[in-house]
Amino acid sequence: MMDFSTMWEIITWVSPYLATFFIFLVLMDQISYLKKKSTLPGLTFVPPFVGNVFSVIRDPTRFWEHQVEYAKTSPLGVSANYIVGNFTVFIRSSEMSHKVFGNVRPDAFQVIGHLFGKKLFGEHNLIYMYGQEHKDIRRRIAPNFTPKALATYTGIQQVVISKHLMMWDSMCKSSSKSTGSGQHAGHGWGVSGVVAAMDTGHLYAWQTGLPWLAVERLVDALERCVVESEKKMEADEEPKCLIDFWMQDMVREERESGTETGTDKITPPNCGNRNIATYVYRAPAKLVPHVANEDFPLSKSYTIPNVVFPALYESSFQGFTEPDRFDPDRFYSEDRREDLLHKRNFLAFGARAHQCVGQRYALNLLVLFIAMFTSLMDFKRAKTEGCDELNYVPTICPKDDCLVSLSRSGADLPSFGLNVN
């Protein structure tokens, strides 16, 4: 058996070689980063191997603000960084972002959407498809977003929003996840399940991908929703969410027959006619990560070698008069119509072939929420230092989570006589 002195001699002999090898790896890591960075603005030195991942976790707001500041100094409107072994290019320029969106193909860019996107969405999800296969799938899911289908969703949205407003008499929480999951996953999810998910710390928070943590629980929840939807559609029940409409289409194909669907109380045109709410709200989106499948020439002077982040949030502010100021007239006034003048810069729903097919659904939901919330609730926000700074979890919201005191503005909140549990 090897004694302690012998082990110590071996460690003493091996240590210089291990230290030299480690220093070599660190140098190669830095050289690789600097070579890919080339002339792009960004940090000259990054922590080896992990890069700036701790900065992203500790204060994502400041991290992306620094990326914006670097990008502003570049003629291309881009900057470089390094995160967990991945060299990244941050794109602030609207034109460069359009170039990325317009080149989603096998020999250029692929949308990844999320760190664990393929696990969450499935490897054969629409966002990972190209060419004719992608076009065929988009054509098949188009019935999910017809006026008739959208009218069904608005009915459920009213119920879920009303239920949250009732709960908010005693507590203040975000309803975006519940309304979103309620229309996408339907009653297989349930309000109680959504509230439980929020209470346990956001299913969509920073994820490690370890078994039975947030990613795994979300996948399991969505699988249960699909099973419940299949049972409902096979029983010829009315579809009430995106999964239901998709499942109904699958069942119809199997049966080679169909069932009729009905509309609900409020239709999308009603939402569109709410001009004030429509012009007050503009959907924010921060980043839609893409991976360069091959080195891609972003310009004559720079070729992208790896991950690229088109900054949709930054792009959407470009060109507008005093973009940080609350000014709905910029969209409403016929003399200004900045939304039309700078339409190319508004990339919250993407562009070209991968432009979001459900953008009207999303806008209807948010316009409806604004209309119901402002007409049914009185609210007062407690202003605190730094409360208006942005936070990403992963959507964009004030750092104080928009903490407000609420009360009913008058009459009882409508229940619509429906139960979504």
Per-domain boundaries in the chain:
21-128+284-315, 138-281+357-375
Contact 339, 346 (CB under 8 A): yes
Between these two residues, 248 and 83, which has the higher pLDDT value? 83
pTM (predicted TM-score): 0.65
Output phi, psi for 382, to 5 deg: -85, 105
**Phi–psi pair at 398, nearest 5 degrees:** -60, 150
Q: Band of the pLDDT at 175, cuts 50, 70, 90?
A: very low
325: pLDDT strictly greater than 50: yes
pLDDT band for position 26 (50/70/90)? very high
Indicate if the pLDDT at residue 18 is higher than 90. yes
C-alpha to C-alpha distance for 53 and 50, rounded to whole angstroms = 6
The confidence score (pLDDT) of residue 115 equals 62
Instruction: Indicate the pLDDT class of residue 71, thresholds 50, 70 and 90.
Output: very high
- Burial class, 152, CB count within 10 angstroms (exposed 0-12 / middle 13-18 / buried 19+): buried
198 is written with which tokens?
A: 């929020």
pLDDT of residue 420: 46
Question: What pLDDT, on a 0 to 100 scale, did the predictor assign at position 279?
Answer: 54
Cβ contacts of 297-302, under 8 Å, gap ≥ 24: 298/76, 298/78, 298/89, 298/96, 298/99, 299/76, 299/96, 301/39, 301/76, 302/38, 302/39, 302/40, 302/76, 302/78
pLDDT above 80 (res 131): yes
Q: Which of 70, 76, 69, 27 is nearest to 49 (CA)?
A: 27
pLDDT of residue 163 exceeding 60, the answer is yes
Mean per-residue pLDDT, 159-177: 68
Instruction: Work out the pLDDT band at 384, boundaries 50, 70, 90.
Output: confident
Listed in sequence order, the residues at least 6 apart from 7 whose beta carbon sits closer than 8 Å to its beta carbon are: none
Alpha-carbon distance 350 to 366, whole Å?
A: 18
HEC assignment per residue over the chain: CCCHHHHHHHHHHHHHHHHHHHHHHHHHHHHHHHHHHCCCCECCCCCCCCECHHHHHHCHHHHHHHHHHHHHCCCCCEEEEEECCEEEEEECCHHHHHHHHCCECCCCEEECCCCCHHHHHCCCCHHHCCHHHHHHHHHHHHHHHCHHHHHHHHHHHHHHHHHHHHHCCCCCCCCHHHHHHHHHHHHHCCHHHHHHHHHCCCCCCCCCCCCCCHHHHHHHHHHHHHHHHHHHHHCCCCCCCHHHHHHHHHHHHHHCCCCCCCCCCCCHHHHHCCHHHHHHCCCCCCECCEEECCCEECCCCCEECCEEEEEHHHHCCCCCCCCCCCCCHHHHCCCCCHHHHCHHHCCCCCCHHHCCCCHHHHHHHHHHHHHHHHHHEEEEECCCCCCCCEEECCCEEECCCCCEEEEECCCCCCCCCCCCC
What is the percent of the chain with per-residue pLDDT over 70, rounded to a whole number?
71
Is the pLDDT at 40 greater than 50? The verdict is yes
Distance (Å, whole) CA 170 – CA 78: 46
The per-residue pLDDT for range 252-307, each reduced to its tens digit, is: 665 554 434 333 444 445 554 444 455 555 555 555 677 888 888 888 888 888 77
Kindly give the pairing relationship between strand 303-304 and strand 296-297: antiparallel
Q: Would you state the pLDDT for residue 280?
A: 55
Closest CA to 86 of 314, 392, 290: 290
- Residue 200 above 50 pLDDT? no
Neighbours of 217 (CB within 10 A): 13
* Mean pLDDT score, 104-114: 82
Q: Is 199 a residue whose pLDDT tops 50?
A: no
More confident residue, 142 or 27: 27
What is the share, in percent, of the chain residues with pLDDT greater than 90?
Answer: 9
Distance (Å) of CA 275 to CA 59, 72, 322: 36, 35, 22
Residue type, 40: L
